[in-house]
């Protein structure tokens, strides 16, 4: 059997073009990530995920999405096919009034969201956001964070993730080791965080350490001057080796955030090689540009060694969807949406 490529790719539209299907068949990326441009109707998405898995020759090939709720949800309005889900911060707001109800709602709504995804052939969701936002930080995280308190984030994220796992959907914790202090949007430029290692260890790292057993994590395109003065976490062997793997203790599959974000510079070959050399297991390229995809695939090469083992272990953490009380879940959703 041909090697699996050490990358996750996007695609351009609602279905695979002949060129994309041929490319995926040759390069066999580990996974596919979907965006709004790829999502129109349930039947269309099912056909897309099925065709991707047929192209790569793996029925369990991961299909990922960013379905957080709030302003980051690829399935939702204005489409009539999917519900609008509240942002993670809504759970934190409820937690301040009624902690037990908030925890139940986080789990129930995670389970509802998982049902939406699983029915479409999507088996990985890029949640939870474990970043601890600071008052002077850029709004790119904002309401995507469950709370401004690390302990509340850990509790609510654990409940939310339990709902996804109950629904057969694997989580990706992000953005390790923490994007909450960034004063810039890494989609547009490279953020530089000047907090001390002691501050980071006390406030930013704990939520990620609490999820050290997660199957997958996504890096932050952020420079932490106390850890590595030059390279962002995604490209830093120091941050990945000393902080993510050792201090935080995460040993699951580590993927980059999107390589096409403007926080990174250099060719796509350079970005890919630097990320893998630093210790990332797979690279993520999202925009569906075929020329860029080809450059990433060629540089990434095959998934092998520890990275291949981590990838296999991550997928083994998936379980069959569990029964749940849909009526209670919808009631919790109504409470959160209406306030």
Please report which confidence band the pLDDT of residue 1 belongs to, taking 50, 70 and 90 as the band edges. low
Q: What is the mean pLDDT of residues 10-23?
A: 98
Active site residues per annotation: 187, 257
What is the reported pLDDT for 79?
Answer: 82
pLDDT digits 0-9 by tens, 147-188: 999 999 999 999 999 999 999 999 999 999 999 999 999 999
Q: What is the mean pLDDT of residues 83-111?
A: 96
What is the reported pLDDT for 2?
Answer: 78
Residue 68 has pLDDT above 60, yes or no: yes
Provide the CATH topology of domain 5-332. TIM Barrel (3.20.20)
What is the reported pLDDT for 77?
Answer: 83
Residue 339 has pLDDT above 80, yes or no: no
Q: Where are the domains of the chain?
A: 5-332
pLDDT digits 0-9 by tens, 217-266: 999 999 999 999 999 999 999 999 999 999 999 999 999 999 999 999 99
Distances in whole angstroms, Cα of residue 80 to Cα of each of 12, 44, 102, 115, 206 = 22, 14, 27, 16, 39
> Percent of the chain having pLDDT more than 70?
99
Q: What whole-number distance in Å separates Cα of residue 196 and Cα of residue 184?
A: 18
Please report which confidence band the pLDDT of residue 337 belongs to, taking 50, 70 and 90 as the band edges. confident
């Amino acid at each position: 059997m041909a090697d699996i490529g050490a990358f996750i790719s996007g695609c351009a539209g609602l279905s695979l073009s002949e060129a994309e299907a041929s490319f995926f068949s040759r390069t066999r990326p580990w996974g596919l990530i979907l965006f709004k441009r790829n999502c129109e109707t349930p039947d269309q998405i099912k056909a897309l995920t099925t065709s991707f898995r047929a192209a790569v020759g793996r029925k369990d090939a991961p299909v990922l999405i960013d379905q957080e709720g709030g302003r980051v949800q690829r399935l939702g309005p204005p489409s009539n096919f999917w519900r609008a889900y509240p942002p993670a911060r809504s759970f934190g707001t409820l937690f301040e009034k009624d902690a037990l109800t908030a925890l139940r709602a986080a789990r129930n709504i995670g389970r509802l969201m998982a049902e939406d995804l699983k029915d479409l052939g999507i088996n990985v969701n890029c949640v939870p956001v474990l970043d601890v936002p600071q008052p002077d930080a850029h709004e790119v995280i904002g309401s995507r964070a469950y709370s401004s308190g690390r302990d509340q984030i850990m509790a609510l994220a654990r409940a939310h993730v339990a709902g996804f796992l109950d629904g057969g959907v694997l989580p990706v914790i992000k953005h390790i080791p923490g994007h909450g202090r960034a004063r810039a949007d890494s989609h547009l430029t490279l953020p530089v965080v000047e907090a001390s290692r002691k501050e980071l260890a006390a406030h930013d790292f704990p939520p990620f350490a609490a999820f050290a057993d997660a199957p997958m994590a996504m890096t932050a395109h952020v420079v932490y001057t106390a850890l590595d003065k030059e390279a962002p976490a995604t490209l830093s062997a120091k941050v990945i080796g000393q902080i993510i793997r050792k201090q935080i203790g995460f040993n699951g599959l580590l993927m980059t955030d999107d390589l096409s974000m403007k926080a990174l510079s250099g060719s796509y070959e350079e970005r890919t090689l630097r990320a893998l050399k630093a210790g990332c297991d797979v690279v993520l390229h999202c925009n569906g540009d075929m020329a860029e995809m080809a450059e990433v695939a060629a540089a990434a090469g095959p998934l092998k060694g520890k990275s291949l083992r981590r990838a296999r272990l991550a997928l083994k953490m998936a379980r069959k969807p569990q029964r749940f009380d849909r009526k209670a879940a919808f009631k919790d959703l109504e409470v959160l949406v209406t306030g």
